[in-house]
Structure 1
Amino acid sequence: MYVGIDLGTSGVKAVLIDEDGVLVGEATAPLTVSRPHPLWSEQDPEAWWQATGAAVIRLGATHSLDAVKGIGLSGQMHGAVLLDEGGHVLRPAILWNDGRAGAECAELEQREPASRAITANMAMPGFTAPKLLWVAKHEPDIFARTARVLLPKDWIRLRLTGEAVSEPSDAAGTLWLDVEKRDWSPAMLAATGLDERHMPRLVEGTEVSGRLTREAAGALGLRPGLPVAGGGGDNAAGAVGIGVVRTGMAFLSLGTSGVIFVADATLRKDPERGVHAFCHCVPDMWHRMAVILSAASALSFAARLVGAASEAELLSDIESAGIQAPKHSRLVFLPYLSGERTPHNDPTATGVVFGLDASASRADLGRAVLEGVAFALADGLHALEAGGGRIETFSVIGGGARSKLWGRILAAALERPLKYHHGGEVGPALGAARLARIATSGASLDEACPPPPLSHVVEPEAALVDALKSRQILYRRLYADLRSTFPASIR
């Protein structure tokens, strides 16, 4: 047996797979996000550890963990966990969807003009390095006491093993990694007033990074000494979970954020379009991503806004009302609840509901939210394909993959067929468990990472494609019209 632990933004998921890679069990524990100021997004790392313990213990309550041979880790990327010399957390972790460091992005690229060549990416506020420039400027006492910076899943690793270790897929999202060399860049570290002493050592995601301490084993109900694999950032681990480990394979993730991910055997840079180029969590592979910051989280927001008891209740309302909007409807939703990345790189962008009239229902608003996320992903797909050629189809993962209704809208907006797999909603946690299997059993990539069995395929529906066209055009025009207004509205 192998355990995969995924530290998400809204919760921690733990899964158990057997020697053949079959999903045996899963459990979750919730997390909340703190937003103390506009553009800020933070979490307490101690809450991550408590949720990790709760998820694994819940897993152990329904399945014996005595036969577990290894643990794999996945987690939300880009977060900054600042530790002092004693390993104590100095402040709440600044998360991936935090937009406060916009000015520091420009400063970072001025300090190191070769930044995009080294990191293969445009500096964006969500990445880790600009956050440290912000801390140095606004919290200089904390910056001066910072002895080490860890990414979220790697802080969990520290609690599990006592080892400060990361791996290239997550490290690539810091802007401190030379992405082609898969190693820390002294130049990028120097540009933020740091050096390699502040960084964890690096292993590949398929290698053992450390072993479970007796204290951590007691907290989780596992045997001490279990090997912990390097693991991966959430998207790279999600790719392993769905079998996207060879050139040209692609998936679409509907988690808290939304992602279109394409695997590559070589590094392909396209930072000017806001496309991310990162290391994969398997050796000698890279990947490109288009990322939107609000996907399933936008649906949760909408359910809360209209008073639905749950996302499922709102989806049921939408389906009952009919998937297509009335022909006269101008209702459009911009899903920029935490700013946006691809292709806009705009931390000041906000959510917008446009076209409300007295006839609008909560089902109408919910449908507009599903469409808005689909339109944002279509913008990301355009950016990806402009620099890398057509992508024919995607596998779908993440919690949003449970909605067949959303799948129909996505297929129409993207004009691509979507493949759904059994267990696809498990995503990164499954990939983490697969990486643990490779690291501890010697299983090959092809043995450990086949695509899960196909459940069904959603083809674009011609009538729905046509029905979305006018609102998709309006969607793009609205962002262009409001772009200069967003920053002016911040107080």
Structure 2
Amino acid sequence: MEYVIGLDLGTSSIKGILTDRQGTIAAEESESYPIYHEQDGHSEQDPEDWVRQTKSVLKKLIQNNNLDGGDIKGISFSGQMHGLVLLDGDHNPLRRAILWNDTRTSREVKEIEEAVGQEKLWEITKNSPLEGFTLPKILWVKKHEPDVFARAEMFLLPKDYVRYRLTGQAGMDLSDAAGTLLMDLNTNEWSTAVLEAFDLPSSLCPPLFPATEHCGGMLEEAAQETGCSSSVMIFAGGADNACGAVGAGILEKGKTMCSIGTSGVLLSYAGGEKTHFNGKLHFFNHAPADTYYAMGVTLAAGYSLQWFKENFLKDDDFSEMVQKTESVPAGARGLLFTPYITGERTPHNDALARGSFIGMDSSHTKNEFVKAIMEGITFSLKESLNLIEQNGMGVDTIVSIGGGAKSKAWLQMQADIFGKEVVSLRNEQGPAMGAAIIAAAGCGWFESLQEAAVVFVQNDVSVMPDPEKTKRYEQIFALYQQVYTQTKDITKQLAAFR
């Protein structure tokens, strides 16, 4: 039997899934690696850890399933976005990779805004500069580690470095390049204007190619270590959010993905239309050629619920805790929560924003607090949905993945708050499934990613909004939207007393 492998290089681990031509998952494996937080705000990883553990996952998928290397026809990648891997002239890493969640670059972000200007950045890159993006990291190394930067010949993003180590071909796919703040999304080429603004050589930037680009076979040494055939076809892959969208079937207009994990993502297919949202939403290249997606982020989505449970409901079963909210009326009996406990991204982009419980009284129970938190998370994601629709992108179906899809109660809440049909997936594998779909299409098993997704992605539960609850939630959502503007000055002043 023939298989493809989808690899998802995450922040804490590398996950690999083995799928056949019908999209059936035959096996999955994962390996973890450490994150280094040696200074406040710093978050780094050793690229060699990624390579070693990726090879281990490939080896396990083959050996544990009694496969021959030739059974694996294609491999592709999903990867954590934005991370900086600086390489010397021999393509060896010059330092640890600086990750997407590293926050040391606030000054560099301001320098980018001043040197290029917000409106010009929106015109070129379609995004506002954030600490997480790659360009601020490059500028930080240039300023603080000039000896390292002087030796830098090229930069890659995490999954691209792993792919280079397997194939010997360096490059970057468009969906990941869009998150560097160095690519011109109008031309899908590296931006001369942005590079020149910071005296960066164009040679620092790798070749660009689409997600399904065939990047060659596997180097003989890597093939021997993993058990793969050196002739296996290896494809470029994509950024984790792009691959997550592929794995959820977000490949046509009207389709939107709601992902509730530690953070929350509301991602909508934009087709070939290029736009920007004045920095309030991200706008990146999608995995299918010449297509794009818009995306909003809630920084503390599932984390808000996890934080509450760990601090106040340690002995409660998580699934029962969520299920009991079904008996609580919409609006949690007048209790409102804003999930800004680690700041907020969309639509406020305010690292100093802080969460609030509004309307508490002595009659509220723990079930109502949990309900209010779930509603607050979903309200935050609705703000992204509203921005998408206000900019002319129609949304008819929302595919829910992650923690928000594991409970019928939360699925129904999403449908009621969004006012849309919400569906879950039968076999949710996230970005790893998207990478497998890219490999399947790249191998020629299907004519397109869309055709592959029809086979690989199957819906499970479908829920429709309750009109009465949707009407009630619209009224409560209007109150929710007032909380940030009414409390932001107070929370900033309170920061002095921490």
Report if TM-score (shorter chain) is over 0.5. Answer: yes
Q: Matched residue of 1:210: which SS? A: coil
| 1:207 partnered with 2:213 | yes
Tell me the residue number matched to 1:483.
488
Residues 80-479 of structure 1 mapped to structure 2, 5 A cutoff:
80-113=84-117, 114-306=120-312, 308=314, 313-320=317-324, 322=326, 324=328, 329=333, 331-352=335-356, 363-398=367-402, 400-423=404-427, 425-441=428-444, 443-445=446-448, 446-450=450-454, 452-462=457-467, 464-465=469-470, 468=473, 472-479=477-484
Q: Distance in 1 between matches of 2:255 and 2:397?
A: 9
* Residues 350-376 of structure 1 deviation map (CA, whole Å, 9 limit, x = unaligned): 455566667766555443432222111
| Deviation of 1:340 (Å) | 2.8
Q: Which amino acid aligns with 1:478?
A: V
SS in 1 for 2:483: helix
Q: Which has the higher mean CA deviation after the structures are superposed, 68-77 or 239-248?
A: 239-248
Cα offset for 1:37?
Answer: 5.3
Q: State the distance in 2 between where 1:134 and 1:80 align.
A: 11
C-alpha distance in 2 between matches for 1:47 and 1:354: 45
For the pair 1:27 / 2:32, whether they are aligned, the reply is no
In the alignment, is the contact (CA less than 8 A) between 1:33 and 1:42 conserved in 2? yes
**Structure 2 runs not aligned, ≥5 long:** none
Aligned with residue 72 of structure 1, among 55, 71, 76: 76
| CA distance in structure 2 between the partners assigned to 1:25 and 1:303 by the alignment | 32
Aligned amino acid, residue 328 of structure 2: Q
TM superposition shift of 1:198: 1.4
Change (3 A) 1:483 1:65: farther
Structure 1 residue runs of 5 or longer lacking an equivalent are none
Q: Write the letter of the residue equivalent to 2:20.
A: D
Opposite residue 444 of structure 2, the aligned amino acid is S
Instruction: Kindly state the Cα deviation for residue 385 of structure 1 after the two structures are TM-superposed.
Output: 1.3
CA distance in 2, matches of 1:371, 1:259: 15
- Native 8 Å contact 1:397 1:426 kept in 2: no
Q: Does structure 1 retain, via aligned residues, the 8 Å contact 2:328–2:367?
A: no
Structure-2 change in CA distance of 1:470 and 1:192 (3 Å): same
Structure 1 pair 108–418 and aligned structure 2 pair: CA distance change class (3 A): same
- Contact 2:86 2:95 survives alignment (8 Å): yes
Question: Using the alignment, how far apart are the partners of 1:308 and 1:104 within structure 2?
Answer: 40
Q: CA RMSD in A?
A: 3.1
**Amino acid aligned to 1:75:** G
Tell me, yes or no, if the aligned pair for 1:39 and 1:338 is still in contact at 8 Å: no
Distance in 2 between residues matched to 1:244 and 1:124, nearest whole Å:
25
Aligned residue pair count: 488
Higher Rg = 2
* Aligned 8 A contact 2:254 2:397 in 1: no
Contact residue 213 and residue 236 of structure 2 kept, 8 A? yes
Structure 1 residues 112, 321: closer, same or farther in 2, change over 3 A?
A: closer
Contact persistence 1:74–1:153 (CA under 8 A)? yes
Fraction of identical pairs, as percent:
36
Given the superposition, is the C-alpha separation of residues 4 and 333 from structure 1 closer, same or farther in structure 2, using an over 3 Å criterion? same
Q: Measure, in 2, the Cα distance between the counterparts of 1:33 and 1:405.
A: 35
Cα deviations by residue, 1:258-300 (Å, 9 ceiling, x for unpaired)? 2222223323312315122211111122222222233344444
Q: Distance in 2 between matches of 1:360 and 1:326?
A: 14
**Could you say if the C-alpha distance between residues 47 and 203 of structure 1 is closer, same or farther in structure 2, counting changes exceeding 3 Å?**
same
> Structure 1 residues 121, 28: closer, same or farther in 2, change over 3 A?
same
Deviation at 1:98, TM superposition (A): 3.5
Deviations 1:136-195 (A, max 9, x none): 334444433433221121122123223221111111111111112111112222334422
- 1:272 aligned counterpart, secondary structure: coil
* Mapped partners of 1:256, 1:50: distance in 2: 26
